[in-house]
Structure 1
Amino acid sequence: RRPTGEEVARYYPERAARRGVEGRAVIGCRVAASGRLEACAVVTETPDGEGFGSAALKMSRHFKLRPMTRDGVPVSGGTIRIPIRFNLPD
């Protein structure tokens, strides 16, 4: 599951939106056996200082992924990097 367009809009950094700034962030996370993301951290964000990294971290709770498995059983420990693009509506 990925965040919906509505969820992305909800987390769009307010200052950046007011100024018409678009951006991007990459977060790195562990994937729990449940498929939820854990221990996420900002890997990169562009442009710096606009809040896109923080917004991406807040959105991480809306992702759900297929976890790693061992002998057919879901396990925690997989890692992933997720790029997130923040675009203003047309």
Structure 2
Amino acid sequence: MPDARRGGLGRRSVTSIGAALLILFQTSTSAAPPPIEPPPTQRLDVSPRFLSQPNIQDLFPARALKEAVSGVARIQCVSTREGGTRDCRVIEETPLGWGFGQAGLDGMARSRLQPGQVDGQPVDSRVVQPFTFIAVGEVELDCAVDPDQNVSDCRIAKEVPSGRCLGARALRQAKTESPDRWDLARARNGRFAWRMDVHAPLADSPERTGQPGCMQPPG
């Protein structure tokens, strides 16, 4: 009999533990709601449009800006009937690891929209917004100038940051652009320092191509 009672108590204990585990499992699973999906695409009479957006340079990730790395991000949000956004997520980010996705999310959080409309009434709707970040570097060319101010024989003197083909791009720009008169005014012994800003396109960057260094621009 003592053994039977102990056995009965053991079965009740197992049953109680099983019920407790079941309750715990149900509580754990119900505590994590499924992710909120944007409302399905609907036929809008008026599509949402931006009323205000932050300056793209204010969103540029600091490290990418310093190292002249360009990038893109596409952000999907729900444009709310109140003119804000919610449930934003990154659906494209190139290159990864430089903060462009988060920059795009910050941009949407700081934007105001005119909501989409159906039958004259504002409604929640899905919106996808691209953000394009074009980095700019600085190049100084050492060029020759004749008395008629014709420029020739330009050489790369300095590029910041280095290693991103900015100097090669500056040499190309020099063929189609004219130097600033202040640069020309500093000419000494027939040469002068031509300082220019140079864009660093994403298309041929090592982050996009997967190749070390950079791809020399044609020409």
Short-chain TM bin: 0.7 to 0.9
Aligned twin of 2:100: 52
2: CA distance, partners of 1:68 / 1:3: 17
Letter aligned with residue 44 of structure 1: E
Match of 1:32 among 62, 71, 80: 80
1: CA distance, partners of 2:58 / 2:131: 14
Aligned twin of 1:88: 135
Instruction: With the length of structure 1 as denominator, give the TM-score of the two structures.
Output: 0.84
Letter aligned with residue 129 of structure 2: I
Aligned twin of 1:3: 53
Higher relative contact order (CA 8 A, sep 6+): 1
2: CA distance, partners of 1:10 / 1:82: 17
Give the count of matched residue pairs. Answer: 87
- Unpaired runs of at least 5, structure 2: 1-50, 137-196, 198-219
Identity, % of aligned positions: 33
Q: How far has the Cα of 1:87 moved from its partner?
A: 1.4
2: CA distance, partners of 1:55 / 1:68: 24
Aligned twin of 1:15: 63
**Max radius of gyration: which structure?**
2
How big is the alpha-carbon RMSD for the aligned residues of Structure 1 and Structure 2? 1.6
Aligned twin of 2:178: none
1: CA distance, partners of 2:85 / 2:94: 22
1: CA distance, partners of 2:82 / 2:130: 21
Q: Which has the higher helix share?
A: 2
